[in-house]
Amino acid sequence: MIEKLKKEVLQANLDLVKYGLVTLTWGNVSGIDRSEGLVVIKPSGVSYDKLTENDMVVVNLNGNVVDGKKKPSSDTPTHIELYKAFSEIGGITHTHSKYATIFAQACKEIPCFGTTHADHFSGKIPLTRFLTKKEVEDGYEKNTGKIIIERFKKLNLLLIPAVLVAGHGPFTFGKDAAESIKNSLVLERVAEMAIGTVQLNKNVKELLKYISNKHYRRKHGPDSYYGQNDSGDKE
Amino acid sequence: MIEKLKKEVLQANLDLVKYGLVTLTWGNVSGIDRSEGLVVIKPSGVSYDKLTENDMVVVNLNGNVVDGKKKPSSDTPTHIELYKAFSEIGGITHTHSKYATIFAQACKEIPCFGTTHADHFSGKIPLTRFLTKKEVEDGYEKNTGKIIIERFKKLNLLLIPAVLVAGHGPFTFGKDAAESIKNSLVLERVAEMAIGTVQLNKNVKELLKYISNKHYRRKHGPDSYYGQNDSGDKE
Amino acid sequence: MIEKLKKEVLQANLDLVKYGLVTLTWGNVSGIDRSEGLVVIKPSGVSYDKLTENDMVVVNLNGNVVDGKKKPSSDTPTHIELYKAFSEIGGITHTHSKYATIFAQACKEIPCFGTTHADHFSGKIPLTRFLTKKEVEDGYEKNTGKIIIERFKKLNLLLIPAVLVAGHGPFTFGKDAAESIKNSLVLERVAEMAIGTVQLNKNVKELLKYISNKHYRRKHGPDSYYGQNDSGDKE
Amino acid sequence: MIEKLKKEVLQANLDLVKYGLVTLTWGNVSGIDRSEGLVVIKPSGVSYDKLTENDMVVVNLNGNVVDGKKKPSSDTPTHIELYKAFSEIGGITHTHSKYATIFAQACKEIPCFGTTHADHFSGKIPLTRFLTKKEVEDGYEKNTGKIIIERFKKLNLLLIPAVLVAGHGPFTFGKDAAESIKNSLVLERVAEMAIGTVQLNKNVKELLKYISNKHYRRKHGPDSYYGQNDSGDKE
């Protein structure tokens, strides 16, 4: 089971390259085996073109390595914190992808300007606050997880499986590693088009609620009718 | 005949990827056999790299599947509505391509700023109104077709085979599936250059009518002289 | 000799695709054999991926086809006019490349903001006026050549082998077809960076004359010292 | 030893193409063998796709060619000046990469807007002054080195291994040729995202010092914990 998860997490990490979401080693994907309480994650600072299944690192929810010879991603404590808080997710992707990071650096949430956004995210992409000096000095990566959790207190992560960490970049979520990276790709496209939309029309308004709700429900939930029933593939 | 159409529609859908007009499965192309009254369209939510001729779905003008094992694109009712209203078209392409979608999201029509635009479209690219709440709730996809038809009431779709649905994205038309996707590509380039043009010169004016008309007529209609006579290829 | 020129012109046309300077068939390159007074040019509207040496069309300076089965580019009269006016050039490239076309559509000349520009062009990239209604109606393509020639009356085309036709796009020149398309590529990069420069700093000034002159002379003229002496390759 | 350095410098020059940092021949990488006092650098104006190990030119710190049949890069005197001033560096990369050059042309330093920047550069990317007329006329390339050195008088080049020459473009540094070009790639991404950040939020502030310091120290210095210990690979 953990071997299958390693394969999936490796593939998702390689897809970061395929989708143009990373430069050098700036990104990481993880997946969790809930029954075992084990997380598989990319090793820290290893080049994507050298990455093999054996490089994947297995950690438990205390952050201890239980399998693998390499050090796990330095962002591992963030992933663990998120898995502990959100029992409904099975995969997490973190990137510094260009346009989502531009929003994070500009400290702006991403408004829903069109049906492309509404098809995938039910509402604005939220932005965290900045960490305090104390939070940075004492458990930086773990606290990055905590401010994300804080941001979702009044939001439903399943409806909006993406978040921007202020001054840093995006994290996205999914039922597994593959879905989390797909959300990462969608987020990037949505962010790019949102920048262009604002440039073209400074007074643009968010998409009318009844249209964005309709689009979201076409692809998600009990009344969804997009995609093939047999495959469950909603993209 | 329908088999030939399936091949053409498959190829056109694959060209969406080749031309960089889609992310994931966000787009669909269809073609119609007017003599049989049958439309061939991409199945809903199937990945482009897995798409085969057999996946193509055949529907009649009532929207019933008459051939194919998969569900047709969720946008099928929009296509059907358009085929019924515009007897002169044989193919329709819908994408969420970046720059055309930015215009749709910004709720701006695309003015004709240069001969690249004028070579292909005789005038501004029109923008529909938003659907009302009632139109969204009751027959959303069909009504998307209807507001496009409404927008073309005083326009000649053959002269401007492209339209932006407000807050959504572009639809383009052609005498067949291949021509509709070619118009989709042209629209995307024209949209991208229009954004840059406005950024560089806020007071830019539309191209002088006698120049845009000249360019359009070089490529279209009885006096056209672009391309090879034998091939009919005007690109 | 004309066969060699055909090969060169074919290669230059294919390089348009390699360098990302064209969409569909929107561009053409020609070369001239001065001793014979013959111009080789791309056929009109033929797809680049099907183009062969045999498709190249040979015309004389009266615009009559003397070799080749296809119709020459519809822009042929423009090329001929330019070859007749500028005896020092051996190749011409016309594209609708993105950023140069944006400047042409915005009716702005491209100022020299940096050494990349100064390395290749000694001064601003000039912009023509618009054609009059009469000039469009009676000999449009030939008159496009004439307004370019008019624009260079007080400029040295050898020092600035590029021009923007208002509302249309760029033409570039060279001692042969290959050099003209290289200038087309440089123009595109220079145009793209100029747009970004103005966006970043609205009050940016043109590069100091003594720096731009120095850079131009490093690569051109009797005191140039860039590149290898033996190859004559200055790029 | 010098043969090994030639291989490294060739590879670094080829990586310029792989990373999309050059057009034509607009860039050069060098490396130094400190024990021998010899610099290996790209030949001037030779196309990257023809470049071989044998084309690499070896010069001493007086700028004299001691090995190689080709002329060294015209920027060689700049490189030499920098190697003499900064004993801690082993490689230098110069490019005209798009976004870093836009900042250089706009005469703006690149502020640290996010952790991507902070992970690699400890502070703003500095900008030189313009050369005076005299400095241009008498030893232009050498003086380009001198104004870079001048700019770093109160800065630590090891903490910020990148600089923009006003109106020209970027130079980056590293412990060897490979690291200098990696910094070139990072600089380009950081520059691109900085432009987007400012466009999206005109009032954006630089990243809080305690966050940028934390990120820099995660990857550099005695307390760094990013990457694998055994490989020393910090990317």
Cβ of D70 under 8 Å from any chain C Cβ?
A: yes
Residue D7 lies in a domain: yes
CB contact (8 A) between residue D169 and residue C116: yes
CB contact (8 A) between residue D201 and residue A99: no
CB count in 10 Å sphere of residue C98: 20
pLDDT reported for residue A234: 40
- Within 8 A of B127 by CB-CB distance, chain A residues are none
Q: Select from D54, D48, D96, D103 the least CA-distant residue to D75.
A: D96
Residue C230 lies in a domain: no
CB contact (8 A) between residue D130 and residue C211: yes
- With CA atoms as reference, the chain D residue closest to C225 would be D74
Each residue of B67-113: pLDDT tens digit?
999 999 999 999 999 999 999 999 999 999 999 999 999 999 999 99
Catalytic residue among C15, C75, C83, C119: C119
Residue D44 lies in a domain: yes
Q: Would you say A126 and A109 are in contact if contact means Cβ atoms under 8 Å apart?
A: yes
3 state SS of A173: strand
CB count in 10 Å sphere of residue B166: 22
- Burial of residue A228 (CB within 10 Å: 0-12, 13-18, 19+) is middle
Residue D57 lies in a domain: yes
- The whole-angstrom separation of Cα A34 and Cα B51 is 34
Catalytic residue among C216, C226, C230, C233: C226
- Within 8 A of D224 by CB-CB distance, chain A residues are none
- With CA atoms as reference, the chain D residue closest to A101 would be D193
Give chain C's mean pLDDT: 95
Token pair recorded at residue B154: 């005083």
Catalytic residue among B48, B226, B230, B233: B226
CB contact (8 A) between residue A167 and residue D114: yes
Average pLDDT over residues A89-102: 98
CB contact (8 A) between residue A227 and residue B45: yes
Average pLDDT over residues A196-219: 94
- The whole-angstrom separation of Cα D167 and Cα C27 is 31
| Interface-testing mutation among B15, B18, B200, with chain C (most C C-beta atoms within 10 A) | B200
In sequence order, which ranges of B152-208 are alpha helices (DSSP H)?
177-200
Q: Is the pLDDT of residue C32 over 50?
A: yes
3 state SS of C66: strand
CB count in 10 Å sphere of residue D149: 17
Average pLDDT over residues D181-209: 97
C181 CA to chain D: closest CA distance, Å? Answer: 12
- With CA atoms as reference, the chain C residue closest to D103 would be C197
CB contact (8 A) between residue A26 and residue D182: no
CB contact (8 A) between residue A196 and residue B195: yes
Percent above pLDDT 90 for chain C:
89
Average pLDDT over residues A166-176: 98
Number of domains comprising chain D: 1
Each residue of C133-148: pLDDT tens digit?
999 999 999 999 999 9
Of D104, D133, D195, the CB nearest to C114: D104
What is the crossing angle of helices D177-200 and A177-200, to 10°? 50
Q: Is the pLDDT of residue A224 over 90?
A: no
- Burial of residue A176 (CB within 10 Å: 0-12, 13-18, 19+) is middle
- With CA atoms as reference, the chain A residue closest to B137 would be A214
Each residue of C2-24: pLDDT tens digit?
999 999 999 999 999 999 999 99
Least confidently predicted of B224-233, C149-158, D108-117: B224-233
**CA A156 to chain centroid:** 14
A203 CA to chain D: closest CA distance, Å? Answer: 14
3 state SS of A71: coil
CB count in 10 Å sphere of residue B175: 13
Cβ of C20 under 8 Å from any chain D Cβ?
A: no
- Within 8 A of D43 by CB-CB distance, chain C residues are 228
Residue B148 lies in a domain: yes
pLDDT reported for residue C20: 95
Please report, for the domain that includes residue B68, its CATH number.
3.40.225.10
Locate tokens 């997710």: which residue?
A89
- Within 8 A of A114 by CB-CB distance, chain B residues are 101, 104-105, 167-169
Residue A192 lies in a domain: yes
Cβ of C226 under 8 Å from any chain D Cβ?
A: yes
Cβ of C71 under 8 Å from any chain B Cβ?
A: yes
pLDDT reported for residue D229: 65
Average pLDDT over residues B166-177: 98
Task: Count how many pairs of residues, chain A against chain D, have C-beta atoms within 8 Å.
Answer: 94
**CA D214 to chain centroid:** 24
- Within 8 A of C169 by CB-CB distance, chain B residues are 114-116
CB contact (8 A) between residue B74 and residue A115: no
Catalytic residue among D99, D119, D210, D223: D119
- Structural domain of A136: 2-217
Catalytic: B119?
yes
- Within 8 A of D45 by CB-CB distance, chain C residues are 226-228, 231, 233-235
- The whole-angstrom separation of Cα C39 and Cα C57 is 8
CB contact (8 A) between residue C103 and residue B200: yes
Cβ of A233 under 8 Å from any chain B Cβ?
A: yes
3-state helix, strand, coil split of chain C in percent (to 5) is 40, 15, 40
Instruction: Please report the DSSP string for D164-199 in residue order.
Output: EETTTEEEEEESSHHHHHHHHHHHHHHHHHHHHHHH
Average pLDDT over residues C86-95: 98
Instruction: Give every CB contact of residue D125 below 8 A, 6+ residues apart in sequence.
Output: D100, D103, D109, D110, D160, D162, D163, D164, D170, D187, D190, D191
Beta pairing, strands D169-174 & D91-95? antiparallel
Token pair recorded at residue A169: 């970049």
- Burial of residue D34 (CB within 10 Å: 0-12, 13-18, 19+) is exposed
pLDDT reported for residue B1: 81
Residue B230 lies in a domain: no
Phi, psi values for residue D74, rounded to 5°: -65, -15
CB contact (8 A) between residue B169 and residue A116: yes
CB contacts under 8 A, B 97-156 vs C, are 113-116, 119
Average pLDDT over residues A108-136: 97
Locate tokens 């599947």: which residue?
B65
Q: Select from D218, C84, D34 the least CA-distant residue to A75.
A: D218
Of A207, A210, A233, the CB nearest to B45: A233
pLDDT reported for residue D234: 40
Task: List subunits contacting chain B, requiring 3 or more Cβ pairs under 8 Å.
Answer: A, C
CB contact (8 A) between residue C45 and residue B116: no
Each residue of D221-231: pLDDT tens digit?
888 888 886 44
CB contact (8 A) between residue B45 and residue A189: no
* DSSP-assigned beta bridge partners for residue C57: C41
Is residue C234 very low, low, confident or very high in pLDDT (cuts 50, 70, 90)?
Answer: very low
Of C47, C106, C168, the CB nearest to B200: C106
Instruction: Please report the DSSP string for B48-113 in residue order.
Output: GGG--GGG-EEEETTS-EEE-SSPB-TTHHHHHHHHHH-TT--EEEEE--HHHHHHHHHT--B---
Each residue of B34-47: pLDDT tens digit?
999 999 999 998 99
- Within 8 A of A181 by CB-CB distance, chain B residues are none
- The whole-angstrom separation of Cα C102 and Cα C112 is 16
What is the crossing angle of helices D2-18 and D177-200, to 10°? 20
Cβ of C203 under 8 Å from any chain D Cβ?
A: no
The answer, yes or no, to whether ipTM is higher than 0.90 is yes
Cβ of B46 under 8 Å from any chain C Cβ?
A: no
Using only the alpha carbons of chain D, give its radius of gyration.
Answer: 17
- The whole-angstrom separation of Cα C72 and Cα D143 is 52
CB contact (8 A) between residue D102 and residue C225: no
- Within 8 A of B228 by CB-CB distance, chain C residues are 43-46, 70-71
Active-site annotation of A, residues: 119, 226
Q: What is the H or E stretch that residue D88 is in?
A: none
Residue A230 lies in a domain: no
Q: How many CA atoms lie within 13 A of B198 on its CB side?
A: 17
Answer positive or negative: Cα dihedral of A220, A226, A228, A231: negative
Average pLDDT over residues A131-136: 98
Cβ of D174 under 8 Å from any chain A Cβ?
A: no
